[in-house]
Amino acid sequence: MSKLVTVFKTGRQFSGSWDEALVLVAWRFQVIFWTLVALIEARRAMRGRRLDRLRLPPVKIEPLLSEERITQTIRLIDGLVDRLLFRSKHRCFYRCYAAAAVLRRWGEPLVLNIGLRNLGSSVRTRGHCWLTLNGCKFYEQLKTEVLYPFAMGNTAGDIAYWVNFGVDSGIMRHRTDCSN
3 state DSSP class of 73: helix
Report whether 116 contacts 126 (CB < 8 A): yes
Q: What are φ and ψ of residue 126, in 5° steps?
A: -120, 160
Exposure string over 146-159, b if 16+ CB within 10 A, otherwise e: ebbeeeeeebeebb
Whether the full predicted model's pTM is greater than 0.85, yes or no, is no
* C-alpha–C-alpha distance, residues 11 and 5, integer Å: 10
Please report the pLDDT score of residue 176 as a whole number: 41
* Nearby residues of 175 by Cβ (< 8 Å), 6 or more positions away: none
Angstrom CA distances, 159 to 7, 44, 52, 91, 137, stand at 35, 17, 9, 17, 14
Please report the pLDDT score of residue 140 as a whole number: 84
Distance between the two ends of the chain, CA-based, in angstroms? 49
Report whether 147 contacts 171 (CB < 8 A): yes
Q: What is the pLDDT along the chain (180 residues), one digit of tens a residue?
A: 444 444 444 545 556 677 777 778 888 898 899 999 999 888 888 887 777 777 888 887 777 788 888 889 999 999 999 898 888 888 888 999 999 999 998 888 899 998 887 666 666 667 889 998 888 888 888 788 888 888 888 877 688 888 887 654 444 444 344 544
Report whether 103 contacts 110 (CB < 8 A): yes
